A and B are shown apart, each in its own frame.
Chain A
Amino acid sequence: MRFTGASWNLAHDLRQMLAFPFMVHALRAGTIAAVLAGALGWFMVLRRQSFAGHTLAVVSFPGAAGAILLGISATAGYFAAAIAAALVIAAVPRQQGGLRGLNVGGSASAESAVTGTVQAFALASGALFVSLYGGFLSGLTDLLFGSFLGITAAQVTTLLAAAIAALAVLALIARPLFFASVDPDVAVARGVRVRLLGTVFLLLLGCGAAEVSQITGALLVFALLVMPAATAQLLTARPGVSFAATIALAVATAWLGLTTEFFSASPIGFWVTTFGFGGYALAALWRSAATALA
């Protein structure tokens, strides 16, 4: 089939799009990335750790740039950077020091200060690696804003395996993590390892962000992490429902983004964030209308 651009015949357009293997790979990878990012993002938004999530996403830029500079695989760089950053952020107690140390719900402010520092350092290191590389790193735009054109079937398989592993761990810790996120003081008294769960979650978030940023780019992982979850939590306060809605919204956003990207010339990140933001704005309007009428 010859590529003829978008018509108004939806079935024809879809068939045309799916005729390209790279597009099939991209949709598969996008779906996996969306499910993973949606699930991790739901907890991230619940835990008010969006800033940490953003930072973990951003560090994949220096990670990949550094790896390319050293001549090792960019994927290794993504993961090394994300894991290191997750451990640094997790090392900061989410609590005021000293005695009242048991009040684990405590200060998010120390965490955000450290997170901000890590993020600034990461971006600066990324810029340094790019300039050391000789000023021209062909993949720079891809690193930052993503590219789905070059995704191979092997990459899709790797992504799937990593996502299943991450989701399995998340499913195992889901309930105590929810407890620790909503009500840390009582969770501690009940014997929940709140600190440990927080660290495991940040590591999952870091690895998830590293995975997803290979598709969406370092700057836009965040769109899939935060937007679907924030939108779904606005729509409903039932945890199970909002979790399912998050996944659905993330997948829909990824599909819409990829499809629109296929038929237009703008970079994928723009479409993903546009749909994500549009959804969030509608949900926020709906929520404030519902509150006003109630």
Chain B
Amino acid sequence: MARAPGGAAVRTAISEVVRFDKAAARIGGRTIWADVSLTVQPGEFMAVLGPNGVGKSTLIKAALGLIPLSAGSVTVLGRPAGQSGGQIGYLPQRRSFDPGLRVRGIDVVGLGGDGERWGVPLPMAARFSPTRRAMIDRVREVIDLVGASGYAHRPIGQVSGGEQQRLLIAQALVRRPSLLMLDEPLDSLDLPNQASVAALLATICRDHDVAVMLVAHDVNPILPYLDCVAYLAGGGAACGTPEQVITSRTLTALYQTPVEVLRASDGRLVVVGEPEAPARHADRHGHTAEPR
């Protein structure tokens, strides 16, 4: 497996980072989506959009191999889903840490490097082991990269939501992944933080050649950075550039009901007439939400 510096060599050999081919997912007897085909190219910034409860997180989990497909296939970094764990940075849907959790941000970031290894980190390891020293340097480097040096030594439960999100992005980056998968990373951040985290992700994507697959229900904060969009609705998906997908025609066909996309004077997109999504909470606590 390509570890730290070897990552780049592997990366060039792969033409598609993620490839869904006529994929379908069934959960609890209900088809969440079917016939989804999409690809993410190396270094591309892709958004998975759609109303809540439509199976956006399921798409990410299928790519991670956490949920089996009922039909079709998915390959990630040239291998079946679930076999490239070390090369994928994953941010699950909004975790907020218990305010009483007395563990520093830097320790949580460090788990991104070697959290699954058996054993205990030895107290003096940094002095004797070059691997360990490299890991410590790498953790510091990613913390600098996301701009979290100022608060990485505070207990993670006590920093703000935006700061936690930056630390978690750092955690996902420790092993120099070729793919970042983020499940609603902007959810429950205030507007300035949404903009700055989106800009940070775009920087990581461009400057460090990391493909980004990001689940969102609001396209606006990330719109300026997107290379392509997968819009999930009504059990299917439409893929393409934002200009191709987020249009009245495509969304109307996807929803099978009239939908209008308006562009506000500041460039923000407004989708009008999408069928009422189930209450927001449904997405957070389970896909068991009633089908619309």
A interface vs B, CB < 8 Å? 46, 48, 96, 98-100, 102-103, 105, 171-176, 178-179, 182-183, 185-192, 233-234, 236-240, 242
Complex CA–CA separation, A68 to B55 (angstroms): 57
Chain B count of residues within 8 A CB distance of the other chain: 40
Min CB gap B186→A, angstroms? 17
Contact A172 B118 (CB under 8 A): yes
Work out how many contacts link A and B, with CB atoms closer than 8 A: 104
Stretch of B99-107, B136-144, B248-256 that contacts chain A: B99-107
User: Interface SS of chain A: helix, strand, loop or mixed?
Assistant: helix
- Residues B111 and A183 in contact, CB atoms below 8 Å apart: yes
Give chain A residues whose Cβ lies under 8 Å from the Cβ of B61.
102
| A240-B118 Cα distance, complex, nearest whole Å | 16
CB distance from B175 to the nearest CB of A (A): 10
- Residues in A with CB closer than 8 Å to B101 are 46, 182
Residue of B66, B91, B115, B123 with highest tally of chain A CB at under 10 A: B115
27 contacts between A and B (CB under 8 A): A99-B286, A99-B288, A100-B285, A103-B92, A103-B93, A105-B95, A174-B119, A175-B115, A175-B118, A175-B120, A176-B115, A176-B117, A179-B111, A182-B108, A182-B111, A185-B93, A185-B95, A186-B115, A186-B172, A187-B111, A189-B88, A190-B90, A233-B102, A237-B104, A237-B155, A239-B103, A242-B102
User: Taking the nearest CB of chain B, how far is it from the CB of A119, in angstroms?
Assistant: 23
Q: Give Cα A166–Cα B103 distance, bound, in whole angstroms.
A: 24
**Contact surface of B with A, Cβ cutoff 8 Å:** 27-28, 61, 64, 66-67, 85, 88, 90-93, 95, 97-98, 101-104, 107-108, 111-112, 114-121, 123, 154-155, 171-172, 285-288
Distance of A185 Cα from B67 Cα, bound (Å) = 14
CA gap between A188 and B119 in the complex, in Å = 18
- Closest A residue to B97 by beta carbon equals A182
Q: In the complex, what residues of B have CB within 8 A of residue A100's CB? A: 285-288
Given contacts A191-B85, A191-B116, contact A237 B103 (CB under 8 A): yes
Pair B98/A183 contact, Cβ less than 8 Å:
no
- Please measure, in the bound complex, the distance between the C-alpha atom of A234 and the C-alpha atom of B157, giving whole angstroms: 13
Report Cα–Cα, A193/B98, bound state, in Å.
Answer: 22
Closest 9 CB pairs of A and B: A179-B115, A185-B92, A100-B286, A174-B120, A237-B155, A233-B102, A189-B90, A237-B102, A99-B287
Report if A187-B115 is in contact (Cβ < 8 Å); known contacts: A102-B61, A237-B154, A242-B102. yes
Instruction: Indicate if the CB atoms of A178 and B115 lie closer than 8 Å.
Output: yes
Q: What is the distance, in angstroms, from A195's C-beta to the closest C-beta of chain B?
A: 13
